Structure 1
Amino acid sequence: MKSQHQVILSIGTNQGNRLENVERCIQLIHQEIGTVVKVSKVYETPSWGFDSEAFYNCALVLHTSHTSHLILEQALRIEKKMGRVRNLDLGYQSRIIDIDLIAFDAEIIDTESLQIPHPLLQNRKFVLLPMQDLNLDWVHPVLNKSIPELIAITPDESVCEMVQNLKAPLEKIPLEQFNYVAFEGNIGAGKTTLATKIAEDFNAKTVLERFADNPFLPKFYEDQNRYAFPLEMSFLADRYKQLSDDLAQFDLFKDFIVADYHIFKSLIFAKITLAEDESRLYRTLFDIVYREMPKPDLYIYLYQNSERLLQNIKKRNRSYEQNIPAEYLDKINSGYLDYIKSQTDLNVLIIDVSNRDFVNKHEDYLYILDEIQKKIT
C-alpha cells in the first residue's frame, strides 16, 4: 500500500517569459507542496475560451501526504507568490501562471471549491497531451477511459505543438545508477519510512525488514539474557533468506532495490546483546552467511542522538519498545559508527537527522535528497 498520494497537476502560462514561469512554478511546487517525480514536455497551445497570446502548458506528477484541499490551497498560494491576481468576475483571462488540480489518486471529489477529476480535462488537448507524456496507468474514474482513449475522442481540435523537454527535480539525483541501496539507522531512526518514500518517488522495489513477525522480539525486551541468542539467530536466518530471495528476483517494472537494512546489522546487534561465548559462535555462523551476501552499492546511515530516538520510539507506541534504555541505543549507535569506520570498500553516506523530521516536514525530506545528490553526483 502506498504511503503517499499520487497527484496530477496541470500548469499553464501566457505572460512574460513563459518557459521561466513553468520552470519556477515546478520548483516551487517541489519545494512547498510535495515531491515532483515526473514532468511532461511543454506544449504551446492557443488560448482556450478567449483571445490572447498562446499558452505554454505542461503536466506533472506529485507525491504528497497532503489532502486534496490542502494541495489546492498551497497551489493558490504559489500562484499568488508568482504574481497572479485572480478576478473571477472577468472569466477566462491571460495569466502569468495557472495551476489546476487534475487528479488525486483515483478519487472522485465534488465540493464547492474542488472537483476531481477536473470536469473539463477530456475536452482540453493541452491537458491530455501532457498527461500522456507522464506514462501513468491512470483511468478516468468517472468516464472509465485511459488518457489515450480520451485523446482519441476529445472534441478539441486545436493545434498543440511540443516546444521543450523538461526534467523533473528528482531526475537530477540518479539513484537508478545503483542496483541496491540500503538505508540503516538505530531503533526509531525512521529508516523504514524513508526507504518506503524513496522507493515510491524513484520507482524502486522495497525490501523491508520483517521484525514484526519475530516471536522472540517482545520476549527479548522482557528477558534479554534468556532470549538474546534465539532472537539474533532468527533475525540472521530471516534476513539472509529475505535478501537472498529479493535481491535475486529482478523486477522488470522497477529501476533498483531499496532496503531498510543491511545484513551486517545482525553482527552489530549481536555484539551488544550476546554473552561472550554466544557471540563467538554467532560470529562463526555470521561469517559464513555474510560471504555470500551482496553488498549495497550505496549505504546510507541515518544518525540520530538517543534523546531523539527515545522520542520517536514513544510516538510509534510499540509496547515492547517502551522501556528501551538510552544506554542501549548509545551502544547501537557506536556499533554502527565503528562498523562504518572499518569498511574501506563500502560506499557510505552518513546523514545526521537528529534535528530533522522528514516524515512531517517536506523541507527535511528534500534536505536528505540534497545530501544524497551531493554524494553521488
Structure 2
Amino acid sequence: MKINYLVIEGNIGAGKTSLATMLAKEFHAKEVLEGFNENPFLPKFYEDRDKYAFPLEMSFLADRYSQLNKNIREFELFSSFVISDYYFMKSLIFAQNTLSETEYQLYQRFFNIIYEKLPKPDLYVYLHLDVDNLLKNIEKRGRSYEQKMDPLYLEKISQGYFSFFNQQNNFPILILDTNKIDFVRNKEHYKRIAQLIFERDYPKGINRVLMD
C-alpha cells in the first residue's frame, strides 16, 4: 500500500506516540507529534474542567491546525513520508466531551472552517485498548496531572472515536485491538503491526483486526 500520509491515533494512553515514533524511525518518515506538553491549559483543565475546557480546546485547535498545515505543506513540497500521532478530527471528538452545548456549537463553527482545508490521510490507524489497560498505561508514564483520570471520561472519548469512524468513508481506517499485545516491548508484535500497515491494501471505511 502506497502511503504518504499516515495517522496513528488512539485514546489517552493507547501508545499512539510510541508507535508513530517507532515507525518513523524505521521507515525514515517525517514525524509530526502533538505538542500537548507545551499547552499551559492542560494541567489546569484536569483541576477544573468547567473553567478551562473551552480555552484548552481552542488552544489545541489552533496548535493542531498550525502544526499540520505547516508540515503538510512541506510534505507536498518535498514529497516526503509523514507519520502523525493525531488527526485533526481529534479536536472535535474531545470537544464533544469537554464543552457545554453552547461552547461546542461555537467551537464547531471554527472547526468546520478549518477541517476542509486539510488533506486526508492515506491510512488512519486506531489503536484500541479497553479502559482498564488505558489506565494502567497512564499510571506507568507518570504524568502527575493525569493520575486522577476519570474512567468514564476515557470511555466517552472511545465512544466518540467510534462514532466518527461509523460516519467516515473518505479514507481507510484500520482499527487494531491491541489489548493482548505489547508492541513497545515485544519486537514481534511491533513487526506484525508494521506488516498490517504497509503490506496490505484497505478499502475506504472501517477495517478491524483483533491482535493476539
Instruction: Give me the TM-score of the superposition, normalised by structure 2.
Output: 0.91
For residues 254-298 of structure 1, the C-alpha deviation after alignment (integer angstroms, 9 at most, x for no partner) is: 840000000000000000000000000001110001011111111
Q: How far apart are residue 376 of structure 1 and its match?
A: 2.3
**Letter paired with 2:108:** R
Structure 1 unmatched ranges of 5 or more:
1-173
Query: Whole-Å Cα distance in 2 between the matches of residues 223 and 375 of structure 1?
Result: 45
Structure 2 unmatched ranges of 5 or more:
203-212
SS at structure 1 position matched to 2:120: coil
Q: How far apart are residue 253 of structure 1 and its match?
A: 8.2
Instruction: Tell me which residue corresponds to 1:305.
Output: 130
Q: How far apart are residue 354 of structure 1 and its match?
A: 1.3
Give runs of aligned pairs for residues 7-86 of structure 1, distance below 5 A: none
Query: Whole-Å Cα distance in 1 between the matches of residues 174 and 82 of structure 2?
Result: 17
Query: Whole-Å Cα distance in 2 between the matches of residues 244 and 255 of structure 1?
Result: 15
For residues 307-364 of structure 1, the C-alpha deviation after alignment (integer angstroms, 9 at most, x for no partner) is: 0000000000000000011111110111001101100112110101111111111121
Structure 1, 253-262 or 219-228: larger mean CA deviation:
253-262
Instruction: Tell me which residue corresponds to 2:81.
Output: 256
Instruction: Tell me which residue corresponds to 1:214.
Output: 39
Q: How far apart are residue 203 of structure 1 and its match?
A: 1.1
Give runs of aligned pairs for residues 163-202 of structure 1, distance below 5 A: 174=1, 177-202=2-27
Question: Relative CO higher for 1 or 2, CA cutoff 8 Å, sep ≥ 6?
Answer: 2
- Residues 5, 82 of structure 2: 8 Å contact kept: yes
Q: How far apart are residue 370 of structure 1 and its match?
A: 3.0
| Larger proportion of helix | 2
Query: Whole-Å Cα distance in 1 between the matches of residues 199 and 76 of structure 2?
Result: 28
For residues 32-76 of structure 1, the C-alpha deviation after alignment (integer angstroms, 9 at most, x for no partner) is: xxxxxxxxxxxxxxxxxxxxxxxxxxxxxxxxxxxxxxxxxxxxx
Q: CA RMSD in A?
A: 1.6
**Letter paired with 1:338:** S
- Do structure 1's residue 282 and structure 2's residue 107 form an aligned pair? yes
Instruction: Tell me which residue corresponds to 1:39.
Output: none
Instruction: Give me the TM-score of the superposition, normalised by structure 1.
Output: 0.52
Query: Whole-Å Cα distance in 2 between the matches of residues 291 and 332 of structure 1?
Result: 23
Query: Whole-Å Cα distance in 1 between the matches of residues 197 and 151 of structure 2?
Result: 29
- Residues 29, 81 of structure 2: 8 Å contact kept: yes
Query: Whole-Å Cα distance in 2 between the matches of residues 206 and 274 of structure 1?
Result: 30
Query: Whole-Å Cα distance in 2 between the matches of residues 252 and 339 of structure 1?
Result: 30
Instruction: Tell me which residue corresponds to 2:206.
Output: none
SS at structure 2 position matched to 1:328: helix
**Corresponding pairs, count:** 202
**Letter paired with 1:197:** M
Q: How far apart are residue 252 of structure 1 and its match?
A: 8.5
**Letter paired with 1:345:** N
- Do structure 1's residue 362 and structure 2's residue 173 form an aligned pair? no
- Do structure 1's residue 230 and structure 2's residue 55 form an aligned pair? yes
Q: Percent identity?
A: 52
- Residues 205, 254 of structure 1: 8 Å contact kept: no
Instruction: Tell me which residue corresponds to 2:151.
Output: 326
Larger Rg: 1
Q: How far apart are residue 234 of structure 1 and its match?
A: 0.1
- Residues 351, 371 of structure 1: 8 Å contact kept: no
Query: Whole-Å Cα distance in 1 between the matches of residues 51 and 188 of structure 2?
Result: 44
Instruction: Tell me which residue corresponds to 1:204.
Output: 29
